[in-house]
Structure 1
């Protein structure tokens, strides 16, 4: 069913853009084939150089020149296989990439956590696409495919060649502190369809991708950055649910998979052993049973979930023993390389274990065209990664995600000439949403209530509402990452309950799970879900209110008994 519903939809698109830039055919067969360039580079590497190709180091460009220089020293001394970019500016990043590539005997893999594009790490200077939860509501996967192509174009223009995305974890736990809005939702087939479109777009654009976080981080309530989560589900449940998107996307040619740090007794009974260090999970399940032949990345090796029980470089050795190809962000790469070389001497690892991985990594670099590496051109860089066409696509994605719950009766009944109160809750100044509506509602007044408004603040607004014939309420979460609960005090929550019973139109610019923390909001006849507090979402919602857009999104998660997966008009 998935192949008919999704793969054929993108077959023509894939054929049209399959040979992009310096791509050299389908990735999986390519990296598992012998190539003269790979052999020629491999033969120049010392034993230590070969081990170093398995490691990727963290780099920032917003922490000062001394930090940038320190990374350069590590790369020149250790000759690592790649870097992972974090916060900084586009030009500074490009300058650093050029310098780091020049210092490396073997071209570097340059990776980025760009689940919503370059804006995930550079929000102040580049564009952010919607979070995956919003994308999960979209019914037109071709838009997500196009987003993947645009992200690939941005990344390659900056000199980045690997994106640690998409997230294909199935978020069926509203309390999940680490995945949540980063997931396409709770339905395994919807997650797979969206993940395929995003992955295929990026790969067709010439980018390596990495599905994450295998075997599935969606149903946890512990953040593996700070501790080791434990999944207590049966192997059957994991196989049929959590692993489903990975299995299907591996069949579709996924180039990479990132393995999570979770303890999963049903798959490996070793106490406190993270999945990333389990040979059974990485080699037997992922590579043999699921047939994955691409690049296997670990999640960051400096996370507490992996080093808590395996400190001082032991986690690095065990990650390679488990079958991983590339280790992201070792706590100390020089120590890790020494530990791996020692493990070879001790017989824990063989040189062939290392050589096979190195040749696959080099083949991936060859597929990316790094055999003819050129410096990143700094001219017009900012303009090139902030294109008008990308901004237009971003708005189309927001428009397509708009999800209308309950009924459209109140929206259709709005009269632009009547006295209208437009209330933004959770912010401290007039919102983009209010500005968008203000030009059309001739007789309106804007009100703003902070999430911690006092009883007097609320009473002042409430007393004014008797003067208005119609009320539009916007619920905002102005935090950078929209969580499952809103930071509203009890007074504000009670006022929202009262507004819901007053035939008010509600627009929610927050994590959809947040609706569960607003008892009584289900009384509102028209609730428009905008998923995040972003100008593009507020503009999209305003279009719906102004009847210039018909909402077509569907809830990607179940919120409570009132609002369930698939709801939307």
Structure 2
């Protein structure tokens, strides 16, 4: 390989399947002129991504390594694909074998569209309820459970030769700043960081972790330089990751176009610093030409040697061979939609939902007496949009159509059913609540909850402060279809005698809740985070 080809292997850039021909030409130019090592796909849909992947691979002299964020399946990025539960829901599951099966299936879906890594699992220990960037993406706040579930996820991917990637080293769970928008600072002691944040990474490394994503986090106890992110810190990566933890795999940067980097470092300069710090792959460089030039200068100046470059590239090529890129074939789109939405995935989703649903009541769940029970479905519709939406690779939630599995199921059981949508106004809800007077039990389900901790999880004020007060003389069964931390936003939640938590809303979660209510299954989930008002 020429020097230019070797340097090019260090770079992976963002690619989209929902953009125009100009974007495609830009990617093709980078591949042909700078010999890119890979691409990270973001928003789009699978058929177009397959078409582009085939085109881009045909123009690359060395097969491109293709990534996509697919922590809960390809639906994290792509329309029309299977979505599995968020990691917070997985954190409630006692049987880690289910997580292995889910990861294996995600790996199969990735391979089907030519993706080599889903950039997962997240092994941050989320111990900050207000964390705007990790939160529901974490298995929870118990470091041992986070590690064990991370290992199960990791091994599931490895079983189908898809690259596992533990993120975000050394631990992004206890931050209140989004590194897409600024540089978070962790001010903990080294003892605390070693005991909590590093624990899952240590355990995954012991069990054969293949790659790590380095985070844009400032950690003064390990590197006192101002605004020095872990990503660019040779002190942290050399002394902690490679020496102390004896990590032998690949280090991949978090996206270099995030403002945790770009607010403090120039284009190109950050790319070089990332490589000198010990990273093997630069993700989403803002300027590949500038980055390549900086690395060439470092080779001339003696700050970086061609022997070091050769060692990195050899490891990258070995990784490409392990995921099967030495046997690269054109991807066939025939039956693509069916393959990415297969029956096995549906059954697995059903099992995951039933294993995660969590009961937080004060006494055993009571059976439904249809003559004494009324069901009220409340749907919040406002969605707070954060400034993170302005970041190109922002994790965009794909809006799902409203599901009525629970509503229709209870109606089939001849339970009286009512529904309210936020746009109807508070007066409408108060009038609706008058209709519960003749019933002893109220089953109340809350939907439309923001998965992120913005604006009280977008729970309407009347739900947060008043609804349960109206029902204080009833036996209330509350079904919460959202982020567990959102339960703390309901000021009078102790009025509810029974609380069912599903962590998110989906047809599978609603079906699981219906089966619990009808007595077909029992709740097996264990709350993976601490709440202020519930056990």
Q: Which is worse superposed, 428-437 or 69-78?
A: 428-437
SS in 1 for 2:443: strand
Deviations 1:287-306 (A, max 9, x none): 11101111110000111101
Q: Which is worse superposed, 505-514 or 375-384?
A: 375-384
**Aligned residue for 2:63?**
107
Deviations 1:419-462 (A, max 9, x none): 5233334259783321222111x141322242x65331122112
What is the CA-CA distance between 1:310 and the residue it aligns to? 1.1
Residue 543 (1) aligns with residue 508 (2): no
Does the Cα contact within 8 Å between 1:503 and 1:525 map onto a contact in 2? yes
Residue 485 (1) aligns with residue 456 (2): yes
**Aligned residue for 2:77?**
121
**Aligned residue for 1:498?**
469
What is the CA-CA distance between 1:320 and the residue it aligns to? 0.5
**Aligned residue for 1:529?**
501
Structure 2 spans left out of the alignment, 5+ residues: 383-401
Residue 234 (1) aligns with residue 189 (2): yes
Report the Cα distance in structure 1 between the residues aligned to 2:289 and 2:187, rounded to whole angstroms: 36
Report the Cα distance in structure 1 between the residues aligned to 2:173 and 2:84, rounded to whole angstroms: 21
**Aligned residue for 2:437?**
466
Identify if the C-alpha distance between structure 1 residues 500 and 242 changes in structure 2 by more than 3 Å, giving closer, same or farther. Answer: farther
Q: 1:372 aligns with which of 324, 327, 335?
A: 327
**Aligned residue for 2:14?**
58
Q: 1:135 aligns with which of 90, 93, 103?
A: 90
Residue 304 (1) aligns with residue 259 (2): yes
What is the CA-CA distance between 1:496 and the residue it aligns to? 2.5
Report the Cα distance in structure 1 between the residues aligned to 2:403 and 2:157, rounded to whole angstroms: 37
Identify if the C-alpha distance between structure 1 residues 480 and 266 changes in structure 2 by more than 3 Å, giving closer, same or farther. Answer: closer
Does the Cα contact within 8 Å between 2:403 and 2:506 map onto a contact in 1? no
What is the CA-CA distance between 1:389 and the residue it aligns to? 0.7
Residue 383 (1) aligns with residue 356 (2): no
SS in 1 for 2:420: strand
Residue 508 (1) aligns with residue 480 (2): yes
SS in 2 for 1:283: helix
Does the Cα contact within 8 Å between 1:57 and 1:330 map onto a contact in 2? yes
Residue 94 (1) aligns with residue 50 (2): yes
Residue 341 (1) aligns with residue 296 (2): yes
Report the Cα distance in structure 1 between the residues aligned to 2:254 and 2:415, rounded to whole angstroms: 54
Report the Cα distance in structure 2 between the residues aligned to 1:157 and 1:425, rounded to whole angstroms: 36
Report the Cα distance in structure 2 between the residues aligned to 1:455 and 1:223, rounded to whole angstroms: 33
What is the CA-CA distance between 1:482 and the residue it aligns to? 6.9
Residue 355 (1) aligns with residue 310 (2): yes
Report the Cα distance in structure 2 between the residues aligned to 1:176 and 1:188, rounded to whole angstroms: 17
Report the Cα distance in structure 2 between the residues aligned to 1:472 and 1:443, rounded to whole angstroms: 10
Does the Cα contact within 8 Å between 2:463 and 2:490 map onto a contact in 1? no
Q: 2:404 aligns with which of 423, 431, 435?
A: 431
SS in 2 for 1:84: strand
Q: 1:161 aligns with which of 109, 113, 116?
A: 116
Residue 46 (1) aligns with residue 2 (2): yes
Report the Cα distance in structure 2 between the residues aligned to 1:430 and 1:535, rounded to whole angstroms: 6
**Aligned residue for 2:385?**
none
SS in 1 for 2:456: coil
**Aligned residue for 1:517?**
489
Q: Which is worse superposed, 465-474 or 505-514?
A: 465-474
Identify if the C-alpha distance between structure 1 residues 430 and 449 changes in structure 2 by more than 3 Å, giving closer, same or farther. Answer: farther
Does the Cα contact within 8 Å between 2:380 and 2:460 map onto a contact in 1? no
Residue 85 (1) aligns with residue 41 (2): yes
Does the Cα contact within 8 Å between 1:86 and 1:121 map onto a contact in 2? yes
Residue 203 (1) aligns with residue 158 (2): yes
Report the Cα distance in structure 2 between the residues aligned to 1:128 and 1:427, rounded to whole angstroms: 21
Report the Cα distance in structure 1 between the residues aligned to 2:259 and 2:366, rounded to whole angstroms: 52
Identify if the C-alpha distance between structure 1 residues 174 and 197 changes in structure 2 by more than 3 Å, giving closer, same or farther. Answer: same
Identify if the C-alpha distance between structure 1 residues 499 and 132 changes in structure 2 by more than 3 Å, giving closer, same or farther. Answer: farther
Q: How many residue pairs get matched?
A: 515
Does the Cα contact within 8 Å between 2:85 and 2:349 map onto a contact in 1? yes
Deviations 1:341-378 (A, max 9, x none): 01111222111221110000011111122112111111
Report the Cα distance in structure 1 between the residues aligned to 2:104 and 2:363, rounded to whole angstroms: 34
Does the Cα contact within 8 Å between 2:16 and 2:41 map onto a contact in 1? yes
Report the Cα distance in structure 1 between the residues aligned to 2:152 and 2:488, rounded to whole angstroms: 30
Report the Cα distance in structure 2 between the residues aligned to 1:400 and 1:408, rounded to whole angstroms: 20
Q: Which is worse superposed, 196-205 or 468-477?
A: 468-477
Once superposed, what is the RMSD of the aligned Cα atoms?
1.7
Does the Cα contact within 8 Å between 2:165 and 2:209 map onto a contact in 1? yes
Does the Cα contact within 8 Å between 1:264 and 1:274 map onto a contact in 2? yes
TM norm structure 1: 0.88
What is the CA-CA distance between 1:525 and the residue it aligns to? 1.1
Identify if the C-alpha distance between structure 1 residues 480 and 230 changes in structure 2 by more than 3 Å, giving closer, same or farther. Answer: closer
Deviations 1:144-191 (A, max 9, x none): 000011111111011111121000000000010000000000000010
What is the CA-CA distance between 1:413 and the residue it aligns to? 3.9
Identify if the C-alpha distance between structure 1 residues 297 and 460 changes in structure 2 by more than 3 Å, giving closer, same or farther. Answer: same
What is the CA-CA distance between 1:213 and the residue it aligns to? 0.1
Q: 2:200 aligns with which of 239, 245, 251?
A: 245
Residue 559 (1) aligns with residue 527 (2): no
Does the Cα contact within 8 Å between 1:458 and 1:492 map onto a contact in 2? no
